Amino acid sequence: MAFSLSSCVVFIFCFNLMFYHSHLGAEAYFPPITPISYLITKNLFDSIFLHKDDTACPAKNFYTYESFIQASKCFPRFGSVGSLSTRKREIAAFLAQISHETTGGWATAPDGPYAWGLCFKEEVNPQSEYCDSTNKEWPCYPGKTYKGRGPIQLSWNYNYGPAGKALGFDGLRNPDIVSNNSLIAFKTALWFWMTEQKPKPSCHNVMIGNYVPSEADIEANRTVGFGLVTNIINGGLECGIPHGSSVNDRIGYFQRYATLFNVDTGPNLDCAYQKSF
């Protein structure tokens, strides 16, 4: 089989990314049992994201199925570990979290509030430039802001820097590429999902059952489940708050997607009584 230059570049970046993960203590590379496209077909993807390409959505035509599948090839452990139910549940959980981060839904929206994921590709009305000037390893570049962009709404210089290093772009000098390039956008979301950032475990390890709570985790009630993933992503603002609307929105998406995948959600959906990391 002949390879185009673009496919070679993708292969090199993916190989480098797996090498990068191995040096971060992430799981070693193993080939997936079944391609992820068998677990989430384009028809299922389109039925999950019913309105992402509506005129009302600023991200219209940005988040393509093809980009999602191509990005997942750089993370072969995503959706490929454990039983079929575990694999489907992880994919559903990932899609639920990125749907909340990019939602355009509201309570009385057509098809319900949980049919409007992937509507936005960057944060609306950011409250700051998301520059942590105390972080000397990943210093902010003059004139650049590190607001939420892409499916996971990647934020802060200390995330843009390492994400760019892992994925092959300059995250500090060119953060806008995350909201201008569909493939890179999905890669940043999967990078965040798969990468452990101590003391936080990776979202991936939580959803496949590889999370082992420390004494501090047990004391903080950080139990395994979808709620812990929410804690990893935005626990400082959302966890430890009973009946929080943001947490409930994430759960609503997850419940809908789990039904579409014909899988249960598992335990501990919220983080209402968890301390943040």
Sorted by where each begins, the domain ranges of the chain are 5-121+182-261
244 vs 17: CA distance, rounded Å: 36
Q: Are 24 and 240 in contact (CB under 8 A)?
A: no
* Closest listed residue to residue 64, CA positions, set 184, 164, 158: 184
Amino acid at 197: Q
pLDDT of 23: 41
Kindly state the DSSP code that residue 125 receives in the 8-state scheme.
S
pLDDT at 34: 73
Query: 111: Cβ–Cβ under 8 A, 6 or more apart, which residues?
Result: 50, 51
Q: Would residue 101 show up in a list of annotated catalytic residues for this protein?
A: yes
Q: Report pLDDT digits (tens) over 230-272.
A: 999 999 999 999 999 999 999 999 999 999 999 999 999 999 9
pTM: 0.89
Catalytic residue among 90, 101, 122, 238, which?
A: 101
CATH 1.10.530.10 is right for the domain spanning 5-121+182-261: yes
Can you read off the two tokens belonging to residue 62?
């940005």
Stretches where the chain sits below pLDDT 70 are 1-33
pLDDT at 95: 98
Helix axis angle for 157-167 and 182-194, nearest 10°, is 110
